[in-house]
């Protein structure tokens, strides 16, 4: 009997852990930061942030690490963005090995929710498309500002943007280009594409090709699939609502901290980057609490399934919203678009929300203990929202920070590392992996109703 420890659900867990450990050991080497010392916890923190495409940093990436160290971080970002399991499957495919049915189903459910697809052809197509998009993004950034985005910088930021990592070689991220429409547009397009999901990108590309070729067979009642349409509608809705909310929240601010002035372009950029990427064109520590709360909501939702993005995902948000609306209206079915969701899908979404709430609640309490439990409230006023922001940013693998990351204690950094790791894999995936070790009871208990509410 196949060992439970080798279940396909545990493959990404082992792969991510191994990559993080190897990355941490490499970043600890002196060649990655000549003449400077970095603790093992900081090296592991940086490796985890890169592999989990988060972007939180305890040291400045551009000034602390050498070109070798930056290249190691870039490689970890690329591996994390595409997914370690995707790379492992690609290696198996190139070596002419056969992927087992269980592994094939696990991979397909992660990427496009279709267990019948050709894994080899799909992964080669994904890698080719991703590298092409990143190369085009790098060329555009270098063309628009050859000094700020010299060849290595252009490649680094393009990969970091598409993989939704948020790592930057500049200490103030992208604030220098806050008013540059072209550079902001390139970053936003890369971030959005990386956060849509491989399935959506593949379908949109195929639709574009068919439209150019004017295939009559493509003229159908619904040009896009249900999944793609829901993802696109939700993404556009969140970007617009998020941008407007941040802009109006900052419009009434009287005192403006340097670098925290938010115009329409900056508000739109933050709405895009908050959900997945972690870049910023304004000083996050200088925005209002209302803006921070809006950003927290966007970070929690995150990107879409099968993408480089983290968070609870746009489809989970739509399911939860539809569930609430159906209960208010008294409907028995949960309707999203032109379909009603299955009970299993709704239960999965509610389970994800519950698990995420427990994980985040526990992490916030632990961080409150490690980062100031010995001080009176009057001395840590405002610390709670910063800790909450940091925890959600780590869990949703966003990488935005109000500036508290470098000052975290050792235990605090360990908590953030765990949050990044769990957030990248997904709490439901980890729960499924743990459940794969369990056995379903062979008996049923009598059922009864319990008064609620």
What's the pLDDT tens digit per position in 285-334?
888 889 999 999 999 999 888 788 888 889 889 999 999 999 899 888 88
Query: In this model, does residue 438 exceed pLDDT 80?
Result: no
Least confident of 341-345, 360-364, 397-401, 423-427: 423-427
**More confident position, 235 or 197:** 235
Q: What is the pLDDT of residues 72-91, one digit of tens each?
A: 999 999 988 877 556 555 55
The answer to whether 309 and 302 are in contact (CB under 8 A) is yes
- Where residue 40 falls among pLDDT bands split at 50, 70, 90? very high
The answer to whether 400 and 274 are in contact (CB under 8 A) is yes
DSSP state of 403: S
Query: In this model, does residue 99 exceed pLDDT 80?
Result: no
Mean pLDDT across 165-177: 92
Q: How far, in Å, CA of 427 to CA of 421, rounded? A: 10
Least confident of 91-100, 117-126, 159-168, 241-250: 91-100
**Residue 19: Cβ-neighbour burial (10 angstroms; 0-12, 13-18, 19+):** buried
- Say how many C-beta atoms besides its own lie within 10 A of residue 271's C-beta: 23
Q: How far, in Å, CA of 434 to CA of 68, rounded? A: 38
What six digits make up the tokens of 236? 């556009």
SS3 83: coil
* DSSP character string of 268-312: HHHHHHHTTT---SS-GGGS-HHHHHHHHHHHHH-S-TTSS--SS
SS3 38: coil
Query: In this model, does residue 375 exceed pLDDT 90?
Result: no
Give residues with Cβ within 8 angstroms of 103, minimum separation 6. Answer: 8, 11, 89
Give residues with Cβ within 8 angstroms of 94, minimum separation 6. Answer: none
pTM for the whole thing?
0.86
Q: How far, in Å, CA of 120 to CA of 111, rounded? A: 13
Instruction: Give the per-residue pLDDT at 263.
Output: 86
Q: What is the pLDDT of residues 213-236, one digit of tens each?
A: 775 455 454 578 888 889 999 999
Q: What is the pLDDT of residues 403-418, one digit of tens each?
A: 888 889 999 999 999 9
The answer to whether 272 and 174 are in contact (CB under 8 A) is no
The answer to whether 224 and 207 are in contact (CB under 8 A) is yes
Instruction: Give the per-residue pLDDT at 221.
Output: 45
- Say how many C-beta atoms besides its own lie within 10 A of residue 432's C-beta: 16
Instruction: Give the per-residue pLDDT at 427.
Output: 65
In percent, how much of the chain has pLDDT > 70?
81
Mean residue pLDDT of the chain comes to 83
**More confident position, 203 or 381:** 203
SS3 330: coil
- Where residue 1 falls among pLDDT bands split at 50, 70, 90? very low
Q: How far, in Å, CA of 215 to CA of 320, rounded? A: 37
Instruction: Give the per-residue pLDDT at 285.
Output: 82
- Scanning the structure block, which residue is given the tokens 């997904």? 426
- Where residue 168 falls among pLDDT bands split at 50, 70, 90? very high
Give residues with Cβ within 8 angstroms of 285, minimum separation 6. Answer: 257, 260, 402, 403
Instruction: Give the per-residue pLDDT at 148.
Output: 92
Give 314-434's CATH code, choosing from 1.10.10, 2.60.40, 1.10.287, 1.10.3470.
1.10.287
- Scanning the structure block, which residue is given the tokens 């197509």? 125
Query: In this model, does residue 420 exceed pLDDT 90?
Result: yes
For CA atoms 266, 258, 283, 137, the dihedral sign is positive
SS3 153: helix
Which of 124-133, 180-189, 296-305 has maximum average pLDDT? 180-189
């Amino acid at each position: 009997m196949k060992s439970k420890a080798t279940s396909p659900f545990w493959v990404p867990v082992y792969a991510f852990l191994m990559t993080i450990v190897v990355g941490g050991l490499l970043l600890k080497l002196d060649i990655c930061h000549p003449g400077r010392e970095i603790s093992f916890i900081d090296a592991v923190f940086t490796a985890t942030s890169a592999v989990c495409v988060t972007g939180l940093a305890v040291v400045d990436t551009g000034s602390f690490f050498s070109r070798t160290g930056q290249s190691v971080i870039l490689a970890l970002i690329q591996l994390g963005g595409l997914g370690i399991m995707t790379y492992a499957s690609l290696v198996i495919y190139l070596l002419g090995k056969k992927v087992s049915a269980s592994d094939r189903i696990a991979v397909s459910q992660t990427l496009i929710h279709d267990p019948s697809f050709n894994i080899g052809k799909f992964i080669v197509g994904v890698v080719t498309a991703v590298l092409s998009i990143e190369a085009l993004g790098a060329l555009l950034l270098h063309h628009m500002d050859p000094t700020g985005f010299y060849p290595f910088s252009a490649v680094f930021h393009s990969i970091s943007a598409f993989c939704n990592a948020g790592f930057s070689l500049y200490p103030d991220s992208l604030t220098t280009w806050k008013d540059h429409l072209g550079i902001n547009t390139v970053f936003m397009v890369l971030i959005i594409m990386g956060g849509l999901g491989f399935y959506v990108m593949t379908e949109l590309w195929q639709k574009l090709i068919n439209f150019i070729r004017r295939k009559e067979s493509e003229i159908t009642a619904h040009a896009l699939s249900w999944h793609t349409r829901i993802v696109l509608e939700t993404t556009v809705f969140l970007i617009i609502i998020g941008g407007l909310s941040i802009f109006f929240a900052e419009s009434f601010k009287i005192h403006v901290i340097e670098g925290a002035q938010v115009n329409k372009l900056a508000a739109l950029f933050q709405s895009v980057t908050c959900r997945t990427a972690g870049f910023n064109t304004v000083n996050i520590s200088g925005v209002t609490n209302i803006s921070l709360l809006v950003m927290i909501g966007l970070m929690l939702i995150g990107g879409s399934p099968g993408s480089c993005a983290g968070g609870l995902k746009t489809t989970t948000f739509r399911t939860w919203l539809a569930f609430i609306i159906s209960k208010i209206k008294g409907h028995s079915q949960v309707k999203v678009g032109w379909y009603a969701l299955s009970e299993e899908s709704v239960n999965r979404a509610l389970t994800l929300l519950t698990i995420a709430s427990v994980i985040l609640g526990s992490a916030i309490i632990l961080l409150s203990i490690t980062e100031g439990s010995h001080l009176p409230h009057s001395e840590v006023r405002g610390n709670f929202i910063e800790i909450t922001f940091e925890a959600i940013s780590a869990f949703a693998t966003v990488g935005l920070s109000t500036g508290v990351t470098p000052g975290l204690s050792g235990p605090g950094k360990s908590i953030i590392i765990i949050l990044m790791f769990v957030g990248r894999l997904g709490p439901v995936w980890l729960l499924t992996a743990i459940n794969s070790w369990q056995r379903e009871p062979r008996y049923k208990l009598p059922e009864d109703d319990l008064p609620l509410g």
